[in-house]
Structure 1
Amino acid sequence: MTSSTEQTAEHLSATTLLRFATAGSVDDGKSTLVGRLLHDSKSVLADQLEAVEHASRSRGQEAPDLALLTDGLRAEREQGITIDVAYRYFATPRRRFILADTPGHVQYTRNMVTGASTAELTVILVDARNGVVEQTRRHAAIAALLRVPHVVLAVNKMDLVGYEESVFAAIAEEFTVYASELGVPEITAIPISALAGDNVVEASATMDWYGGPTVLEHLETVPVSHDLTDCHARFPVQYVIRPQTAEHPDYRGYAGQIAAGTFRVGESVTVLPSGRTSRIAGIDLLGEPVDVAWTPQSVTLLLEDDIDVSRGDIVVPSGDAPPTTQDVEATVCHVADTPLTVGARVLLKHTTRTVKAIVKEIPSRLTLDDLSQHPAPGQLVANDIGRVRVRTAEPLALDAYAASRRTGSFLLIDPADGTTLAAGMAGESFAAAEAAPVQDDEGWDF
């Protein structure tokens, strides 16, 4: 006989997983929305709710302040502990969720890049009294830049504007026009009051003019596809395994996680950036041989030929190899306090490969107000979004970010202290032959 716990576990394993991120300006009610979602979906433990009720009463509040469910993040900051993004897990009978709760202050906008980089959906909050502000536009731009497929505009605090449909309609229209110009593929606007619970989990009895889904209904039903098996197959090598035991004296395997696609025994593959080819002689999964493996499995590939393969190389199907280049053009979100300037020497980390690089040019910076490009800004500062051209010391096998979020993204790192400077999304690449090799004054060859 199957226990109820086992039945619940089996049901949750069969439900889909949605990764989503929240974003919003300070005091837009993001903490209250997250608390309301957790509370009304019955994802809060009894002792947690009791603690919130006690804290609320001590503050003179009659009703529990659901924003306190996320106040641990702020309390830790007050103690000097830096936490950029808080991840929370909850589940309903229809779907499992991983929520990336990102800070709302403008100086932490860069942290939204971390939270939204793996998200299939972003909830952007707007205070109905203030409408679309610069921070709203910045969050929309980052969602578009990271190619998040679904964006929810949650117009919060509708209770403070008399639940007026016209207020919601004006904000929704302004945001939709702006986000559409950015290239956001799907936008869903929902009027809510996180404090009162209107249209968060339960439909609002006050806003009967709205006939769409609640926030939770939309989260439960938005189409999500984790099927990357038909994408361009990519296998970044993380580690070379050579046990040299009596049982396997000639064993040489290449371990890592499949970033996208499917690999099969007998398939012809190319190792990049060297361009050497071979065939897959075997695939080991959890110590057992298999004939086929797919993303996101972690496996060990064995090749028929003894060729030079090391950490940072990428194994791809021979008929589907991306071009390699030392000249990378990309859009980046600058996340460091130190400005990124032309001529800066950096490290570029792409999948498991890290190479030296020089910032050759910063052609433009995005102006969020009208989406215009500010030409030749000279530098990018914290939270700026701009185009860069980078010359690397070694060739890279970069996909376009539009084709693969995993193998089209990279980080720019300060070589002095390891600080992450910028998160990059690869776009058009220059042919390596177009730029003559150069050497900087400290001997970095490019």
Structure 2
Amino acid sequence: MTELIPSFGGFAFTLLAFVVALSIIVAIHEYGHYIVGRWSGIHAEVFSLGFGPVLFSRVDRRGTKWQVAALPFGGYVKFLGDANAASGKDGAAVDALDPAERRRSMHGAPLWARAATVAAGPIFNFILSILVFAGVMMFTGQASTDPVVGDIRPMPAEMRVLEPGDRITAIEGEPVETLSDVLELGRTLPPADLLTYQIERGGEAMTVEANFPLIPVVESVTPRSAAMDAGIRQGDVILRIDGTPVHAFEQLRGAVEAAEGAELALEVWRDGDIVEIGLAPRRMDLPSPEGGFETRWLIGITGGLFFEPDVTRVGPGQALWGGVQTVGRVVETSLSGLWHMITGAISSCNLQGPIGIAETSGAAASQGIDSFIWFVAVLSTAVGLLNLFPIPVLDGGHLLFHAYEAVAGRPPSDKALQIFMTVGLTLILGLMLFALTNDLFCP
């Protein structure tokens, strides 16, 4: 019985991380609907975090019931005149309202107020993501473009490194002007144990020997990857693959590609200890720099320099613009991935369901609060984007009905709305079932 405790502990941690992440995203999304609706003169009867039996509730001075329900996998705002959590129209209730009260209902308010209230949910998700990305950028700073050594990563004692503050001017005789030059040489120079560096230290030019710039150090671990499942951690240094020493990250990449899914034996340095790890690369679909996706054998790690680049502080304006750009990249990659799955260019297994998202939540949380916060921002962007799809039941479907009303001068009939909502609900349930199937049966 005791051997089940670690598994249960891991499951509980994953579930908790998923619930926390989803609750934050849902609360922000629904608050967007609520607050813009209130500003637009639409009365919210219920604000619910979760579904099912109510665990806690209170009614505020405006008459809105705020509640937390037992099933924390979503939420809703029920406005005056809504028949249900999906904002279906309660025709009889709306018809019974006097003109002043009808104006305070979702279905009796002006078109602009209804459209703004619906759009606010996804927009608030994007705002949350932008603020998180911007906050992370301001807190961590931005890597300087100068080839100056910052902090040195923990390394095996036998490895030779530079000193913080060193400015690299050349590697193996190749001139270096920016940090990008160091990275490019790390990809193109022949792998070797030591290289010759020309540096400036304390105003004095000197020549020293140090490690290959892009050593096989683990910068980050991809959730639900072969590396994470095998127990590889951020900061690990891979010394050997199948007994062969590796000095450069490109050697590791080449060995993974050459294995074509066969198991690799890794010798890893971790905090002064040597750890033996076995894992098999997996086929994964990744966004390519040129656009689209490429399928490669991967173990799920990213590499880095043997030193942390010098960091410069980022101002609020630059950080916010960076947050907007990051959200744009997430949206672009998500839409590209969806299109490539529809056309069959990449595997539909890339679509995760609730189990996959929960596992990713737990994996992100296990790597630290910064990784978890970043994951919440990415997931918030994905939720905002999904809700804008023109599918009835989703916010995008409601906006489509509002667009029709703006053009036709009248809303769709109640019967047509009921049919569309049924079709939309069927599509969403089918998509959820397909994603859940992926979670259970995809490798």
Higher relative helix content? 2
The answer to whether TM tops 0.5 is no
Between structures 1 and 2, the one with greater strand share: 1
Larger RCO: 1 or 2 (CA < 8 Å, sep 6+): 2
TM-score normalized by structure 1?
A: 0.24
Question: TM-score, with normalisation over the residues of structure 2?
Answer: 0.25
